Chains A and B, each alone.
Chain A
Amino acid sequence: MEDAAKAAIEAVLKVGAKFADVRIENSTTTIIELSDGVTKRSLASRLKGAGIRAFIDGAWAFGQATDMTPKGMRETGESVARLALATRSRVAKRFEIDGPSFQDKVRLKVKKPVQDITFEDKIAFAKMIDDQARDFDGRVHNTRTVYGDLWTELYIANSLGTSVHLENTLPTIVSITTAKDGANRQRGYKLVSTRGGFEELEMERPQHIGEESAKLAVDLLSSIVAKGGTYDVVLDPVLNGVMIHEAFGHASEADNWPAHTTILEDKVGKMVGPEHLNLTDDPTLPGMRGSFEYDWEGTKTRKRTLVKDGFLTELLHSLETSVLLDMESNGAARAQSFMYPPLPRMSNTFMEPGDWNADELISDTNEGLLLCGFNYGYTDPSKGQFMFQANYGYLIENGELTKIVRDVSMAGQILGVLAKIDAIGKDFSLESGTCEKSGQAVPEMAGGPHARIREIPVGGG
């Protein structure tokens, strides 16, 4: 692998580009999907190839190669470098890529490597979860269970001298249950995804995830649609994570600065929220789906304090943005696979806990909503606008939880909503997710404590 990368880097530089990097990936995945007890999808795949970048004077070019012989890598390297040279005259600003270089070999320590688990055992596990959901209640109408694992071996090298070998494994179990009562149909969705071996799925929660999603689907049969309006809302840790991810995380990705596409552009070092607000992105947490030791440019990663006491202190950087903004690199550049160039992305993103008991937060909120779980969310950092949707929630009436509600959407302005966070809980948890940006999906986690937002528009029927 080192030889193949070296051949490509030398070829890029020889053509005249000033910086080159290479990612060589060899990944395998297994996906087992069952529905109503039978196999709907048994999938095995191998992703094998190299992504090569060339840079000169502010112009980037990217190409991919699946022929990883030194000859194949040289040819792709040359063609990528020529592409960079062809566009260099049209760039906005000339600069150079510089930064620290790293040499390392990281193996992920696991007890039961997913590659050693037979297809039979993976199917048996998925079948157990699917049966569990179906057997939960007579109103369960359809069950769907997805087992997935991704094992990745990645080698990253660049012309600054970086040479890093990485390994990663992400096992996942998802349970989706549809419950039916007359014409009323509701869906419960639960997933656990972690970093490690198959043993991670032998823990308490993943072993009972079928019941968890079935219970939610059945509970939702008695749910009502919340009436649209402006509410005081308490977010559970899952939804708080989604809000932080959508309402703030994306806007703090530093590639927005050279592009002038974030409403945080003039806010670095300034106050962006109340002083009890602390937001962190930390890829160094052990066993988390969003964790990694080095990013996809081979930069050693570390914890980032995005917001400290209400002030925007740090951004998420790639090699390029740390040069352009003259800030320290922090290893946030990630790619979905060798087929894509890395971009600044979040890892495990969360709100730091405060000093409220979660129960007190609810009793202190006279009329409002407790919202839980998430369906999805998205944002446009250039407008500063975001929306996210809770999976379910409860009305808060006279400080008590009453009726269950479903599919509640919230919309807001990034800076506006942070100012409305008036109380933050002591509890803490993270939920796994997948984040999409520029057509690339990467694994991440998000969370925090329970937190309250005053007067936010909530959509309903």
Chain B
Amino acid sequence: MGRTLGSEKFLWEVDELDQRLLEIGEMVVKRAEELGANQAEAYVAASRSFTIDVESNAIKSASEKRDAGCGVRSVVKKGGIGFAYVTTIQDEDLFEAAAKSVKLAKVSVPDPDFVTLPSYSGNYPTVTNLFDPAIKRLSSEEAAELIMRTVDATNEAVDAEQTAVEAQLNTFAGTVAIVNSLGISGSVEAASMFINSSPTIKDNNDQTSSYEFQVSRNLKSIDPEWVGSTAGRNAVNNLGGRTIEGGDMPVILTPLVVRSIIGGGFGGAINAEEIQYGRSYISDALGESIASEKLSIMDDSHIAGGIGSRPFDAEGVPTQRTQILHGGVLKNILHNSYSANKDHVENTGNASRPSYSGLPSISPSNLVIDPGKGTLDDLVSEIKKGILFMYTGDRPNMTTGDLSAMVMEGQYIKDGSIEHSVKNTLVGINMRDLLQRVHRVGADVRVTSTAVTPSIVVESARVTSG
């Protein structure tokens, strides 16, 4: 009974916030129009984020942030565009932002390729499971309990002289409203949760670490024991790192590496605006075979509970599912309203922005790589001499496609089994070659924030170690 009451109260609060942000948006758009904007857009967001940090196996700090702000985009008759944002939603600050955006628009050098802000008046697609009230309701005690279970699981998986676990839990719940002069008016509430564990271990004068995380829009799917034990086990496996004899050899990219290299390094290259400017290593390739036929990739903003899922993009344009690669052929690239108008093509609804504080750019929603067959063990067993590449912070040069990635975590494979972890080792390959040389795709699919992917095997890459 108490629970029902609580949830009613909660829903009432949510409706109120949605409505309030839309009203603010309308007010700001109106103010910008009064000051001389021909078209205006407001992006209003309010959120609560709660974080607990663990250091050396114990809770170190907690923080609660309530953030609310507004970004205003104004277009004047001559075509100039201005943008201003403010980190509050108080009237005087909102009006200052509206005035600044109009003033900037008036003095900007108009972009002849800019046509208009987007318009839309239909219904948005239904995207489910974006908001789990249980995440918003999670108390600080429950959060502390969850993160300490993660730490305990990490320690249980490690048998070393010294283990210091860093870990973090973060919950986020927020509402976004977008309003413009051309009829766009949308709001959405979403919540997400993130936990990670990073143990640093010392044993026999050797020191190493690892990192594992889970992110979800559903509290129940968070598994602190899995995160902790995986991080612990991987750290132990990282002990005893050695250099290897370099050369050209096959490399297995596990999902966390695919996330960086394909998710970031290919996801960024199919950005239509970058392609239009000739700044992407993928240009003039639409309809051509640019990758191995084993590789099929979809940008899917409608996955239920997907981290990158959204009913409308950061300009209020309805989202869709867009096939990027099919059998190695580049089928589509990603657009926002500006790049689509410039190329006179359909907008794929991939406008994105960090929050109210930025202008719309273009990014994938959820990049989904079609799985093939086999477990990670199967993939390892098929390799005579190669690298199991498990973690990197690197990304390719987006203009040339050259990639030189440090193996932050990885194992040396010999005769189908893992020999030892590697250190001081780099993998070098151009992205165009990497895409063509994917000769095996596994079935071990994992959700890694906005990339949903199995492991993939690159037939041959240059490995340097020393």
Contact = CB atoms under 8 A, between A and B. Distances in A.
A218 interface: no
B61 A383 contact: no
Interface string B158-170: 0000101010000
Contacts of A412: 424
Interface string B212-251: 0000000000000000000000000010000100100000
The 8 tightest CB contacts between A and B, nearest first, are A459-B426, A92-B58, A260-B164, A228-B464, A60-B61, A409-B404, A459-B404, A62-B63
A133 to B, nearest CB: 13
A457 B63 contact: no
A86 B200 contact: no
A347 B424 CA distance: 28
B67 interface: yes
A34 B404 contact: no
Contact of A409 (B60, B61, B406): B406
Given A120-B107, A389-B394, A461-B429, 11 more contacts: A37-B109, A41-B359, A43-B104, A44-B82, A46-B96, A59-B59, A62-B62, A62-B63, A66-B88, A228-B426, A387-B426
B389 interface: no
Interface of B: 52, 55-68, 80-88, 90, 93, 96-97, 100-101, 103-105, 107-113, 140-141, 144, 148, 162, 164, 166, 198, 200, 207-209, 238, 243, 246, 277-279, 281, 357, 359, 393-394, 397, 399-400, 402, 404-406, 408, 423-430, 462-466
Interface string A51-94: 00000001111111010000000000001100110110011110
A43 B399 contact: no
A406 B428 CA distance: 13
A60 B424 contact: no
B109 A64 contact: no
Contacts of B359: 41, 43
B82 to A, nearest CB: 5
B466 A38 contact: no
Contacts of B100: 44
Nearest to A65: B66
Contacts of A91: 58-60
Contact of A42 (B104, B281, B462): B104
Contacts of A186: 399-400
B339 to A, nearest CB: 12
Interface stretch (A200-208, A374-382, A396-404, A444-452): A374-382
A246 to B, nearest CB: 11
A128 to B, nearest CB: 12
A229 B426 CA distance: 10
A43 B108 CA distance: 10
Contacts of B408: 380, 383, 385
Contact of B430 (A34, A228, A457, A461): A461
A389 B66 CA distance: 38
Q: Which of B60, B83, B423 has the most chain A CB atoms closer than 10 A to its own CB?
A: B60
B52 A411 contact: no
A263 B207 contact: yes
Contact of B277 (A86, A178, A459): A178
A228 B407 CA distance: 14
A63 B65 contact: yes
Contacts of B86: 45-46, 48
- Chain A: number of interface residues, binned into ranges: 35 or more
B406 to A, nearest CB: 4
A309 interface: no
A244 interface: no
Contacts of A48: 86-88, 93
Given A84-B62, A185-B399, A38 B140 contact: no
Nearest to B111: A38
Contacts of B424: 385, 411-413, 416, 457
Interface string A411-433: 11100100000000000000000
B63 A35 contact: no
A80 B246 CA distance: 53
Contacts of A228: 246, 404, 426, 428, 462-464
A298 interface: no
Interface of A: 34-49, 58-64, 66, 79-80, 83-84, 86-87, 90-93, 118-120, 123, 127, 141-142, 144, 178, 180, 185-187, 225, 228-230, 258-261, 263, 339, 341, 375, 378, 380, 382-385, 387, 389, 406-409, 411-413, 416, 455-461
Nearest to A408: B404
A25 to B, nearest CB: 9
Contacts of B90: 66
A411 B406 contact: yes
A409 B56 contact: no
Nearest to A411: B406
A79 B397 contact: no
B406 A387 contact: yes
Nearest to A130: B109
B466 A461 contact: no
B68 A66 contact: yes
A288 B141 CA distance: 44
Nearest to A391: B397
Q: Which of B81, B88, B108, B393 has the most chain A CB atoms closer than 10 A to its own CB?
A: B108
Contacts of A411: 406, 424-426
A45 B84 contact: yes
Contacts of B428: 225, 228, 409, 459-461
B103 A413 contact: no
A47 B87 contact: yes
Nearest to B201: A382
B402 A261 contact: no
B429 A90 contact: no
Contacts of A341: 61, 63
B88 A49 contact: yes
Given A42-B105, A49-B87, A187-B399, A383 B464 contact: no
A384 B112 contact: no
Nearest to A61: B62
Given A39-B111, A123-B107, A229-B246, A178 B278 contact: yes
B283 to A, nearest CB: 8
A260 B462 contact: no
Contacts of A38: 109-113
A127 B107 CA distance: 12
Contact of B109 (A46, A123, A185): A123
Nearest to A183: B283
Contact of B63 (A37, A61, A407): A61
Given A46-B93, A383-B209, A413-B424, A185 B164 contact: no
B64 A79 contact: yes
B426 A63 contact: no
Given A261-B209, A385-B406, A119 B279 contact: no
A185 B399 CA distance: 6
B140 A83 contact: yes
A87 B140 contact: yes
Contacts of B281: 185
